[in-house]
Amino acid sequence: MADATLLAVRNLRVEYASSRSLFGKPTKPVRILDGFNLDLRTGETLAVVGESGCGKTTLANCIARFIPAAGGEVVFEGLDVLPLTGLALKAYRRNMQMVFQNPVSSLNPRLRVSAIVSEPLETHTSLDSSARQARALELLAETGLEASFIDRYPHELSGGQAQRVALARALALNPRLLLLDEPTSALDVSVQAQILNLLQRLQADHRLTYMVISHSLGLVQHISDRIAVLYLGELVELGPRGSVFATPAHPYTRALFAATPVPDPRRRRNYVALEGAVPSAANPPPGCRFQTRCPHAMERCRIENPALRRVSADHVAACHLLGDTHIDDKEIKP
Ligand SMILES: Nc1ncnc2c1ncn2[C@@H]1O[C@H](COP(=O)(O)OP(=O)(O)O)[C@@H](O)[C@H]1O
Ligand code: SF4
Ligand SMILES: [Mg+2]
């Protein structure tokens, strides 16, 4: 696997306008990501993990340019894509595709599979309709669907089949990067494994880079190269899969492990399960954002938000319990 950076998220800020207060006054926008940094290396699978509501989909939607950023940069192959418009934005969209959590509702219910899969070809290429149809059949075969599926409508597909169609559509323009937002969480367990295997095969065949979003560490344990753990819009741990699984450094990561089936259950016993819910993004706690749920919270945690510190080569975490080898966010480089 090459080590070059394909995509770099730099100081990203994303806000949602919040609804008006009871008295009709507009309230402050809610800041979901505030100075967020993360790199994606060419050819890797980076898992982004965290409980529901921590900002994973917001991050992917902003990278995909579906929602605007309030500040920062998303640098793809050296170019900040946030200011792009027109043809330059279209070119970025060829290179980066998103696959959504609910496969059936992500497909246009009024279109047959043939039109769904060939739609990007119509928008972005000069292929005529028979060439588009031929390419659509090729893409279905690659995603493990028989040619007869070409005439079906989304409601005639199972969840797994619909996710295969969504993948066929995503691959139509030979992208370099796929953002996969909980790609299997709406599927039956037996189908989940098939889709994960398919993703691995497609990645090898097309030299794809993946950012896979999941609320569960269990799902990503077989497919990720590195794991990024998010809590309430902040990166709390980032490292190689083996290192994060063997020596999770952040109390939140350990709590996620407590809820995850792991091969060695003895390890899990040491970890304290999570209690309570994620605090509201509109009113995050001061100091460390995890302090309201952390079994190790100290006075310092209520005042000072911990910076990312190096745990070992390529592995960082943000917690006051870790040593004092302070590093700047900018140092999280491939
Ligand atoms: N369109 C929106 N408008 C306002 N708030 C939103 C919107 N989408 C998400 N949020 C809020 O942003 C936070 C992060 O949500 P999201 O990115 O969907 O998290 P995740 O994908 O990790 O579950 C949550 O507090 C959620 O309520
Ligand atoms: S900084 Fe404090 S509250 Fe935050 S995770 Fe570490 S010990 Fe827990
Ligand atoms: Mg989500």
pLDDT in tens, 105-123: 899 999 999 999 999 999 9
Which residue has a Cα nearest atom 1 of ligand 1? 16
Q: What is the pTM of this model?
A: 0.93
Q: Which residues line ligand 2 (CB under 6 A)?
A: 251, 288, 290-291, 294, 296-298, 301, 306, 319-321
Q: Give the separation between CA 61 and CA 123, rounded to whole angstroms.
A: 21
Give the nearest ligand 1 atom to 213 CA: 21
DSSP 20: B
Residue-wise pLDDT for 227-271, tens only, equals: 999 999 999 999 999 999 999 999 999 999 887 766 665 555 567
* CB neighbour burial string for 118-154, b if at least 16 within 10 angstroms, e if fewer: bbbbeeeeeeeeeebbebbbebbebbbbeeebbebeb
Instruction: Count the Cβ atoms, other than its own, within 10 Å of residue 73.
Output: 17
Asked if 217 contacts 49 with a C-beta cutoff of 8 angstroms, the reply is: yes
Looking at all shown ligands, the one closest to residue 48's CA atom is: 1
In a mutational test of the pocket of ligand 1, which residue from 58, 181, 278 has the highest number of ligand atoms less than 8 Å from its CB? Answer: 58
Q: Give the separation between CA 166 and CA 181, rounded to whole angstroms.
A: 12
Give the number of C-alpha atoms closer than 13 A to the C-alpha of residue 253, restricted to the C-beta side. Answer: 26
Q: Whole-number mean pLDDT of the chain?
A: 91
Which residue has a Cα nearest atom 2 of ligand 1? 16
In a mutational test of the pocket of ligand 2, which residue from 293, 298, 304, 324 has the highest number of ligand atoms less than 8 Å from its CB? Answer: 298
Q: How confident is the model at residue 275 (pLDDT cuts 50, 70, 90)?
A: confident
- The mean-pLDDT minimum among 68-82, 253-267, 320-334 falls in 320-334
Give the nearest ligand 1 atom to 59 CA: 17
Q: Which residues line ligand 1 (CB under 6 A)?
A: 16, 32, 50, 52-58, 281
What mean pLDDT comes out for the span 273-277? 81
Residues 6 or more apart whose Cβ sits within 8 Å of residue 123: none
Give the nearest ligand 1 atom to 282 CA: 25
Residue showing tokens 């066929």:
168
Which residue has a Cα nearest atom 11 of ligand 1? 53
Q: 290 CA distance to ligand 2 centroid (A)?
A: 6
